[in-house]
A and B are shown apart, each in its own frame.
Chain A
């Protein structure tokens, strides 16, 4: 068994990167975690093709790539629904798909949501940095040169033993006003009651200045008056910082490891996946829950 699948990118898409388990073990050295924004969708994509759950895969954002595919292999798409065509034949999400021969794969725009994941069975053979081949937000081009997809990029994936065809039913659920569940952050109690009321009662919109490092939210907390001085301390994906002007920033997968703004709350893991599928312009509200409740949906 020595077959392989070659991918040549005719168009890179808006922001297509390769992600795996990331670099969490190096946080003490100031290294961002990286890894997929929507972890559950990424794990599912890898499962559908029989890969380990945190194997490398492609994260596709808003507008997908056009890929010339050659060879033999098994692929799967999960996450936000995109229009995906193999030659002119539409492909379904959430199931494994067998390929042989030469094809043109066109991943168009996200119909809903923001990010989809493409898994390919087998070994991607990518160079890694600090045990991960995830695109590094800093010095990415030097350290992980093959993990940010550009026009002309190629990938050569050596097939693993194929698994029997797998599929899951995972309908995309649209919610008119999503609720993002949070736990109280380290500085939660230092905020005045009026600011907390705004935080828990308000609607927030994701601003265009948002990316894998974090989402900036529109409508600052008006009642946030006395900024607390915080000696730089750890922040993690999901941490919500409040800048001195009262703006909320939700840190995400590629965020830095330390910060000096007060941390009002932390988005629970399950809802970080939800946030990953929201776009600039989308609105949501926050709900405070207990750690026990968070573990129940972990």
Chain B
């Protein structure tokens, strides 16, 4: 595999991998991202991974593009010697019932699957967090089974409720906060995936592996209550 490095403006460098949505390619993205992060290169401000690219912000007063791109090329050459980065595995409870499953019937119409099959298919596999984007903390998860593939809504919702779990194309995602949005909604998680809190503002990060677990409306309300009271056992969502 080769990478292609190019400038994106005068303070960002873009690394392109093979342009495909693919778990192995994304693994390479995450590996290189971790490697660059570990180097603590002076002047590098942030490293932001996407599906098959990395954008790296830098301050040209400390480091310029030619030097930084050389550094990255060298790190890429040593990739066989990278230490394997441990992957976090999280299981997120999702209620796929009314009033949360806003578009289950719509999805049923598009895919020809019965609602219970849609749910079963959605929870059957684990997903990779390819990137966070669109909204602070919005995880793009993939790859969604092809049978669930739906286009975005022709008329986007003006306000998709926070924590809604949606699908679009071969992706699934979670709205961290209320927002306009065109994804079809299959359910809702009681877990805040985005909080303003200092210690853990975001529940997920790129590279995580996510599984969904179907819960009843009663369970949902129970967990919501525990979150509110601060008694929820967060350890149970991590493997």
Contacts and interface: CB of A to CB of B under 8 A. Distances in A.
Interface of A: 24-32, 129-130, 136, 138-139, 142-143, 183, 185-186, 231-234, 236, 238-239, 256-258, 263, 266-269, 291, 294-295, 298
A263 B49 CA distance: 17
A233 B137 contact: no
A139 B138 CA distance: 14
Contact of B51 (A186, A232, A267): A232
Given A28-B205, A29-B202, A138-B179, A234 B8 contact: yes
B60 A298 contact: yes
Interface in B53-80: 53-55, 57, 60-61, 64-65
Contacts, number: 125
Given A30-B133, A231-B19, A233-B51, A183 B45 contact: no
A239 B9 contact: yes
Interface of B: 6-12, 14, 16, 19-21, 45-55, 57, 60-61, 64-65, 131-138, 140, 177, 179, 196, 201-202, 205-206
A34 to B, nearest CB: 11
Contacts of A30: 131-138
Nearest to B140: A232
A53 B64 CA distance: 22
Contacts of A263: 8
B48 to A, nearest CB: 4
Contacts of B133: 30, 232, 256-258
A230 to B, nearest CB: 8
Given A129-B196, A231-B52, A266-B10, 14 more contacts: A25-B46, A28-B47, A28-B205, A28-B206, A29-B202, A30-B135, A30-B136, A30-B137, A138-B179, A232-B133, A257-B132, A257-B133, A269-B11, A291-B10
B57 A231 contact: no
B177 A268 contact: no
A25 B48 CA distance: 9
6 contacts: A28-B47, A29-B201, A236-B11, A239-B9, A258-B133, A266-B7
A30 B174 CA distance: 13
Contacts of A291: 7, 10, 65
Nearest to B49: A28
A139 to B, nearest CB: 5
Contacts of B57: 24, 27, 236
Going nearest first, the 5 A-B pairs with the smallest beta carbon separation are A258-B133, A234-B55, A266-B9, A30-B132, A294-B10
Contact of A234 (B50, B140, B202): B50
Contacts of B201: 26, 29, 130
